[in-house]
Structure 1
Amino acid sequence: MGELRPHRDSGFSLLEMVVVVAIIATLSVGASLAIGARGGTADAPRLAATYDALRDAALLGQEMRGLRLVPGGWQVLLPAEGDAPGWRVSGAVQSVRAEARFEGTRGPILPAPPDTRPPQPDIVFLSDGEVTPFEVVFVTDDTVTACRSRGLAGLDCTTR
């Protein structure tokens, strides 16, 4: 009977691993571009994720958070630092790909015009879990997605 000898060339080479990683990266970029091309159908989950993150941050940090509507999207607001009253912008504008219509209890919530005044939130997340009531409708060529705030329960979204 023959002796078992270890093979020195077993396993993957560095070149093979690089090729596999490049293929996976190419496929993931293609998939993300395909998902992004769907337009408004991706806007509702992004808004729901922002909603959940702001609600959780307000509850855990015991500090209000805000969401300001701007032309073409929304922006997160935090309370001003120190004893200064007001709000400050946190992060970049989150753009929407579809037409978005926001409604509050007193009618439409219109995007804030770009100006130099201090930012004010259109939707406020309080430290006790309360959230300004609102509804948003995302309209694309083939779908309509409506989301309604439910406070601690998050956003309730339905697609028609």
Structure 2
Amino acid sequence: MGGELRQSDGSGTGGFSLIELMIVVAIVSTLAVGVTLSVGRGSGGDGDLDRFRAAWALQQALAIEGREMRGLRLSPKGMEVMVWRLGEMGGAWQAQGDLRPWQGRVAVSVDRPTPPGAPDIVFLPDGRGSAFSVAFAVGSARCESDGWAELTCG
């Protein structure tokens, strides 16, 4: 009929050693991390638009909930969250966290002069904000608000 099945006594050379399996797992893990990072980075500008939308919505909600003035300082280099803090000598804008750089090109236009150290977009505790327009290089996307209406992007 054919070949017989024999039970191995463990001294054979068939199969993989533990070292070989660990090397394969390490290589596959490294490749998976590389793919995840490159997919998450995307093409550049689309991530900027999504991050801006999320930051705008979060800062508006935090201003209303915390009953405090909050803001976003925008520059061609990046975006920075700011909070109005009262002190002994009055109040001042303070940055919260680091400047988050854009992945692509971004152009900012505000309808009022911005004093040095102040954010470009201000969120008031009553839900209002300052008027602005932000243009993102990828896909010619633009986000804007008149200060009263919700954010519109297109």
SS in structure 2 of the partner of residue 31 of structure 1: helix
Q: 1:55 aligns with which of 42, 57, 60?
A: 60
* Residue in 1 that maps onto 2:134: 136
* Residue in 1 that maps onto 2:38: 33
Task: Classify 1:75/1:54 alpha carbon distance in 2 versus 1 (closer, same or farther; 3 Å).
Answer: same
1:150 to partner: Cα distance:
6.2
Of structures 1 and 2, the larger Rg is shown by 2
* Residue in 2 that maps onto 1:156: 152
* Residue in 2 that maps onto 1:91: 97
SS in structure 2 of the partner of residue 127 of structure 1: coil
* Residue in 2 that maps onto 1:147: 143
User: 8 Å contact 1:51–1:154 — kept in the other structure?
Assistant: no
Q: Deviations over 1:17-60 (max 9, x none)?
A: xx5xx74x853652332231411111001001110110010000
Q: Deviations over 1:81-118 (max 9, x none)?
A: 534421111001011122111122259x8xx9xxxxx7
Task: Classify 1:62/1:106 alpha carbon distance in 2 versus 1 (closer, same or farther; 3 Å).
Answer: closer
Identity %: 32
SS in structure 1 of the partner of residue 91 of structure 2: coil
Task: Classify 1:133/1:29 alpha carbon distance in 2 versus 1 (closer, same or farther; 3 Å).
Answer: farther
Structure 1: gaps of 5 or more residues: 1-14, 113-117
Q: What is the alpha-carbon root mean square deviation over aligned residues?
A: 3.0
Task: Classify 1:62/1:155 alpha carbon distance in 2 versus 1 (closer, same or farther; 3 Å).
Answer: same
Task: Classify 1:97/1:64 alpha carbon distance in 2 versus 1 (closer, same or farther; 3 Å).
Answer: same
For CA contacts below 8 A with separation 6 or more, give which structure has more relative contact order.
Answer: 1
Structure 2: gaps of 5 or more residues: 1-20
Asked whether 1:104 is paired with 2:110, we answer yes
